[in-house]
């Protein structure tokens, strides 16, 4: 009986220490990108960037009302690819995939992409959002022995974050998304972190590997925090 009790206490203690360690890493990450007060004060983000894919360059604009709506628009020589997600639904236009009119997203697509609604990602204020986190140890990311943390939403959408132990910046992210009715991984590698005038620090360079196998490089050129954004831009055109 004593051995059984000792084993139970050991397991519970290990779980508690693991949870505390995950929280400690997340708190340090939040501190280096601006802190709880700064991030909590962000109501909207407006981002201009350049997309490079398969030798083509395209301007992109991303607009976010924190927790309410996300819209990304990329212009490939007059052909606009649009993705929109809100707390309730989503829609898209992608003429390169034959989707020339606004098309409603599936429930799975909405669920797995709603992470984009939140400034600071799933890790910021995760418990209040109903998210769960788990420290999965460490893993090598291009020579960096990074902390590996899995965040899972209340809808069971999972994202894995790799955090540099020397800077506490996220250097890699693996997101499970719904693509053509199947779950697939989208891998992002982040670099070139800079602090905005507002005091919010974000990566200005992102290498995005899509399920189709090709890579997109995204370079941010302009960020405006708390710019007035009309919520109507998230409504599907009639």
Q: Is the pLDDT of residue 54 over 90?
A: no
How many residues in total does the chain contain?
A: 238
Q: Is the pLDDT of residue 5 over 50?
A: no
Stretch 38-49: mean pLDDT: 97
- Predicted TM-score (pTM) of this structure: 0.85
Tell me, what's the pLDDT at 10? 41
Q: Which residues make beta-bridge pairs with 226?
A: none
List of domains in the chain: 2-234 (2.50.20.10)
Per DSSP, helices labelled H in the chain are 2-32, 36-40, 107-113
Q: Is 69 helix (H, G, I), strand (E, B) or coil?
A: strand
Using alpha carbons only, give the angle 119, 97, 72 rounded to the nearest 5 degrees.
20
Tell me, what's the pLDDT at 181? 65
Asked if residues 153 and 162 have their Cβ atoms less than 8 Å apart, the reply is no
The residues, any chain, with a CB within 8 Å of residue 6's CB and separated by 6 or more, are none
- For 32-169, where are the E strands, in sequence order? 44-53, 56-65, 69-76, 79-86, 90-94, 99-104, 132-141, 144-152, 158-163
Q: Which residues make beta-bridge pairs with 189?
A: 172, 207
Share of the chain above pLDDT 90, in %: 69
Tell me, what's the pLDDT at 179? 63
Average pLDDT score, the chain = 89
Going by pLDDT thresholds of 50, 70 and 90, the confidence category of residue 7 is very low
């Amino acid at each position: 009986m004593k051995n059984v009790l000792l084993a139970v206490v050991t397991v519970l203690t290990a779980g508690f220490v693991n949870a505390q360690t995950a929280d400690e890493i997340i708190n340090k990450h939040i501190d280096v990108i601006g802190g709880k007060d700064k991030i909590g004060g962000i109501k909207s983000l407006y981002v201009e960037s350049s997309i490079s894919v398969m030798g083509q360059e395209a301007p992109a604009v991303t607009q976010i009302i924190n927790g309410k709506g996300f819209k990304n628009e990329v212009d490939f020589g007059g052909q606009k690819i649009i993705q929109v997600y809100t707390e309730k639904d989503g829609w898209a236009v992608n003429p390169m995939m034959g989707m020339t009119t606004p098309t409603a997203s599936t429930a799975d697509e909405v669920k797995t992409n709603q992470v984009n609604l939140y400034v600071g990602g799933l890790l910021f204020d995760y418990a209040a959002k109903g998210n769960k986190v788990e420290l999965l140890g460490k893993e090598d990311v291009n020579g960096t022995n990074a902390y590996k943390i899995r965040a899972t939403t209340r809808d069971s959408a999972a994202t894995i974050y790799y955090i540099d132990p020397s800077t506490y910046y996220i250097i890699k992210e693996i997101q499970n998304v719904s693509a053509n009715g199947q779950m697939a991984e989208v891998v992002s590698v982040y670099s070139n972190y800079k602090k905005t005038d507002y005091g919010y620090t974000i990566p200005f360079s992102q290498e995005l590997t899509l399920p189709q196998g090709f890579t997109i490089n995204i370079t941010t050129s302009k960020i405006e925090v708390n710019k007035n954004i009309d919520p109507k831009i998230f409504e599907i055109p009639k």
